[in-house]
A and B are shown apart, each in its own frame.
Chain A
Amino acid sequence: MSIKVKIVSPEKVLFAHDADMAVMPGAEGDIAAMPEHAPLMLTLRGGVVDIYEGDAVAHRFFVAGGFADIAPSHCTILADRATKLEDLSVDDAEARLAGLEKSYEEADKMNVPALDILMDKMQSARAEIEAAQSAIPGMSL
Chain B
Amino acid sequence: MASLKDLRARIGSVKSTRKITSAMKMVAAAKLRRAETRAAAARPYADAMRRMLAEVARSVAGEGGQPALLTGTGQDKVHLLVPMSSDRGLAGAFNSNINRTTRNLVLKLQAEGKTVKILPVGRKTYDFLSRDFSDLIIGHRHLAAGKEIPFSAAAELGEQISSLLEKGEFDVCTLVYNRFRNVMTQTPTEMQLIPLALPENDNADSAQVAAYEFEPDEGALLSSLLPRNLQVQIYATMLETAAGENGARMTAMDNATRNAGKAIDRLTLKYNRTRQTNITNELIEIISGAQAV
Please give the residue numbers on chain A whose beta carbons come within 8 Å of chain B beta carbons, in ascending order.
6, 8-13, 26-28, 31, 38-43, 67, 69, 71-72, 76, 78, 80
Interface string of B26-52 (1 = CB under 8 A from A): 000000000000100110110011011
Inter-chain CB contacts under 8 Å: number = 78
B-side contacts of A41, CB under 8 Å: 52, 55-56, 212-215, 221
**CB-defined contacts of A27 to chain B, threshold 8 Å:** 215-216
Listed A/B pairs (5) with beta-carbon separation below 8 Å = A11-B45, A12-B41, A39-B212, A42-B216, A67-B52
B215 cross-chain contacts in A, Cβ below 8 A:
26-28, 31, 40-43
Contact B48 A8 (CB under 8 A): yes
Set A13, A26, A39: member contacting B211, Cβ < 8 A:
A39
Q: What is the bound-complex CA distance between A12 and B40, given in angstroms?
A: 8
B293 within 8 A of partner (CB) = no
Interface size bucket, B side?
20 to 34
**Centre residue among B49, B56, B215, B216 by max chain A CB count within 10 A:** B215
Within 8 A of A (CB), among B226-250: 228, 231-232, 235
CA gap between A72 and B205 in the complex, in Å: 11
Residues of A within 8 A of B44 (CB): 6, 8, 13
Closest to B41 in A: A12
Contact residues of B between 192 and 241, Cβ < 8 Å to A:
205, 209-216, 220-221, 224-225, 228, 231-232, 235
Q: Are A40 and B216 in contact (CB under 8 A)?
A: no
B128 interface residue, CB < 8 Å from A? no
For the complex, give the distance between the alpha carbons of A74 and B199 in Å.
22
Shortest distance in angstroms between B37's beta carbon and chain A's nearest beta carbon? Answer: 10
In the complex, what distance in Å separates the CA atom of A71 from the CA atom of B212?
8
Complex: how many Å from CA A69 to CA B216?
13
**Cα distance A13–B48 when bound, in Å?**
11
Measured in the bound complex, the distance between the Cα atoms of B215 and A11 in whole Å is 25
Complex Cα distance, B38 from A101, in Å, reads 34
Residue of B nearest to A72 (CB): B209
A67 and B212 contact, CB distance less than 8 A: no
Q: Which B residues, 28 to 83, have Cβ-Cβ distances below 8 Å to chain A? A: 38, 41-42, 44-45, 48-49, 51-52, 55-56
> Which of A31, A38, A43, A78 sits near B45, CB closer than 8 Å?
A78
Residues of the A chain whose Cβ atoms lie less than 8 Å from the Cβ of B220? 43
